[in-house]
Structure 1
Amino acid sequence: MKNLVNETPTPKRSYAFVDAIRCIAMISIVMEHATTLPSNIYHPKSFTEVVVLSTITQIGKFGTVCFFLLAGFLIGEKFTDYTPVQYLKRRLNSTFLPWLIWSGVFFLFLLGDDIFIAMRFNHGQFDSTFGSTIIDQLKLVYLHSSFWFIPNFLICITLLLIFKKWLYQRWLGAIFLLFTCLYAINIYYEVIDPLHSTAIFGFVFFLWLGAQFNKHLNALEAWMKKVPLGVWIALTLITLVLGVGESLILRNTNSADPYNTLRLSNILYSMSFFFMLFSIREFPFTKRLKPRETTYGIYLLQFILVYSIVPLVFPTLKHSAQSLSFPLVLAYLLARFIMVYALAWGIVTLLNKTRMKWLTGN
């Protein structure tokens, strides 16, 4: 392909590990969303249950940071193949349009419940709070569901495009890191909205860092060969424990987002997990899942399935799972995870065989 900036072809390298890590990161994100039950559905009956559920949630918290790192890694090459405007246009066409459609579908699912209730139980009349209900549903879709990621991601990319001239300058990374640290501190003080889904500048550092990994890949690989895999496994386990501990502290302080992705412990956990995966590199099972073709589609579908389809499959647990024993709760969470991932992957695979594959970003 002709380089649109330098007018000379950019040599391409095969980054199979990117697809493998991308696949595992998406599995973790589906796991996080599918195994999280609101407190009004299930409230832990003991401290042990709190710790177990917090650990399950924490295990899946590395995915978001990994996605930003991988995107930054690939951006380093894309910025040489396209002008900033061309690159952003490609992103809007392949990323934003499918996101807009599926987020709209999710909103209609939510609104459909309210319309059904009005038609069935209120003679087709909407009460005076319907307007505020619509606003709440929009907030749920675009701030409190996984659909927050794409606007944030595009804003982060735009920032890198603006500062493209200084992309590989350490001072730029230091500024981005400062924003990340400020968000991490704000989780405790809540000067501004502490939700990670509204942390507009909180993730751009990881994009920048991924670009550095690409530029210095040979040096990174040489360094990684000197560090035994056991070190990364140990660090991942240690930071996992730290992550669970910090989430418990935040729960005790009634934090608005005790499992915030930008917690310091979770940043360390995510980085450790990333390096552990990078050290292993090859995961044969991921090739069967075709991550390059399915990952984005799974992202778009998984939260809709969790929120709108799972309750239809388990209607008796839609409003409460409190009557279940804890082992059954864990079995229920496992079933939700397997079902959501399998359904999302299956739907995306089917769409990719049709002219509608653009709905999955392909």
Structure 2
Amino acid sequence: MPNFVKLQQMTTKNITKNYDFIDTMRFIAMIGIVMEHSSPFLGLKLNTLHDQIIQTVALQFIKFGTIVFFILAGFLIGDKFNEYTTKQYLGRRLRTTFKPWIFWVTIFIILFYIDECVRYFKGSDSLGFTDPIAYLLDRIHFIVVQTSFWFIINFMLCITILLVFRKYMYKITFGVILGILSLFYSVNLYYDWIPTGHTTALLGFVFYLWLGVILHKYFNEFISWINKQSFLLIAGAVLITFVISCAETINLIQLGSNDSGNTLRFSNIIFSLVSFLFLYKYCNFSVIEKLKPRSMTFGIHLLHHILIIIFLPMLLRPMKIVYAHQSAWSLFFLQFAIFILIYATTYAIVYFIGKSEKWKWTVGQ
């Protein structure tokens, strides 16, 4: 009996230690998300196959972030199920997540209006003054639908769906239904039945949240399985799925798709899941813990797109850097330079806000 108790304590200790992977993986996933959002390739339509390949490779290798985030969030939900009722959990999420979201959306809108004021007093056309209501609604739509702020709305919707169907949570049939909903958006990329943007795929990400809940339930079995897998196998799977994802993107470009890099492409789903395995097993770097990922990641998510939309153009304009006029290779290297600038600046702002007892709640601390 003493040996059994000792073994049980060791197992519990190992599992608790392995939970640290969440902070590390969220930190790495956020790096990918910030780099994608700040990439000069984003939204550009390049004409030659050579340029399209460079663009695709530059964007695809960081494309795992969103799905990985949902899986990790689902894991945490599974961890909290026994501690909170549905009402308690949603209430807690609204306080800790939605309140900072509202604050920064408001700041975003204020900054847009400041920009409009500058335009107006310089004699340029300003919708913010000629039709302020229309401008306000347009900016709210832009922020909620076309920037990283969509994630919180979609995330809260996904959580609500899971909790409403809580009694079916661990049913495979429920997971299959959610998986089919996600794959619908994959197929829709080729038929355009509904708008294809991943930010409008309101039901497309619930499956990955559910997958995280299932991962939590069977975490011991997952650890046992992943420990048996070789580096060659997992790294090979990442490389193969990366190439296939690039190929699908190029194919969608050739078909004239307006959303060829959609997160819910079937090939990117597989790439993201395989990347999750690789990150879990090989990227639990202790140095990341020194960067305080648990307290920094949410704030970085909230602020980085404000810097990209509002402040980055102020820097690029005097330097006369116009993305459409640059070569594909110039854009490739520019992507990394801009990412370093945006990430470092956002990190510094979140860090100093976190030092303030009065304002640290705005960055989730």
> What corresponds to 1:4 in structure 2?
none
- The residue matched to 1:94 in structure 2 has which SS? helix
> What corresponds to 2:52 in structure 1?
50
Partners of 1:250 and 1:43 lie apart in 2 by 12
Contact 1:321 1:329 in 2 (8 A): yes
Q: Offset at 1:200?
A: 0.8
Partners of 1:270 and 1:123 lie apart in 2 by 44
- The residue matched to 1:174 in structure 2 has which SS? helix
- The residue matched to 1:194 in structure 2 has which SS? coil
- Given residue 276 of structure 1, which amino acid in structure 2 is its aligned partner? F
Contact 1:311 1:317 in 2 (8 A): no
Can you give the 5+ residue segments of structure 2 that lack an aligned partner in the other structure?
1-11
Contact 1:119 1:125 in 2 (8 A): no
Superposition map of 1:116-131 within 5 A:
116-122=118-124, 131=133
> What corresponds to 1:22 in structure 2?
26
What fraction of aligned residue pairs are identical, expressed as a percent?
Answer: 36
Number of equivalent positions: 351
Following superposition, which runs of at least 4 residues in structure 1 exceed 6 angstroms of deviation? 123-127
Partners of 1:210 and 1:318 lie apart in 2 by 45
> Residue by residue, what CA displacement relative to the aligned partner does 1:170-220 show, whole Å, maximum 9, x if unpaired?
111011111101111112111111111011111000011111111111111
- The residue matched to 2:244 in structure 1 has which SS? helix
Go from structure 1 to structure 2 and tell me whether the alpha carbon gap of 1:76 and 1:127 turns closer, same or farther (over 3 Å shift).
Answer: closer
Q: Offset at 1:103?
A: 1.8
1:240 to 239, 242, 248: 242
Partners of 2:270 and 2:234 lie apart in 1 by 11
> Residue by residue, what CA displacement relative to the aligned partner does 1:74-108 show, whole Å, maximum 9, x if unpaired?
11121110111111111000100111111222223
Give me the TM-score of the superposition, normalised by structure 2. 0.90
Partners of 2:266 and 2:127 lie apart in 1 by 48
- Given residue 158 of structure 2, which amino acid in structure 1 is its aligned partner? C
Q: Offset at 1:51?
A: 0.8
Give me the TM-score of the superposition, normalised by structure 1. 0.90
- Given residue 121 of structure 1, which amino acid in structure 2 is its aligned partner? G
> What corresponds to 2:9 in structure 1?
none
Superposition map of 1:92-111 within 5 A:
92-111=94-113
> Residue by residue, what CA displacement relative to the aligned partner does 1:106-160 show, whole Å, maximum 9, x if unpaired?
2232333233222321598967666544433222211011110001000100111
- Given residue 155 of structure 1, which amino acid in structure 2 is its aligned partner? L
Go from structure 1 to structure 2 and tell me whether the alpha carbon gap of 1:263 and 1:325 turns closer, same or farther (over 3 Å shift).
Answer: closer
2:294 to 270, 288, 292: 292
- Given residue 278 of structure 2, which amino acid in structure 1 is its aligned partner? M
Contact 1:36 1:57 in 2 (8 A): no
- The residue matched to 1:192 in structure 2 has which SS? coil
Partners of 1:36 and 1:168 lie apart in 2 by 42
Go from structure 1 to structure 2 and tell me whether the alpha carbon gap of 1:124 and 1:51 turns closer, same or farther (over 3 Å shift).
Answer: closer
> Does 2:334 match 1:358?
no
- Given residue 217 of structure 1, which amino acid in structure 2 is its aligned partner? F
- Given residue 306 of structure 1, which amino acid in structure 2 is its aligned partner? I
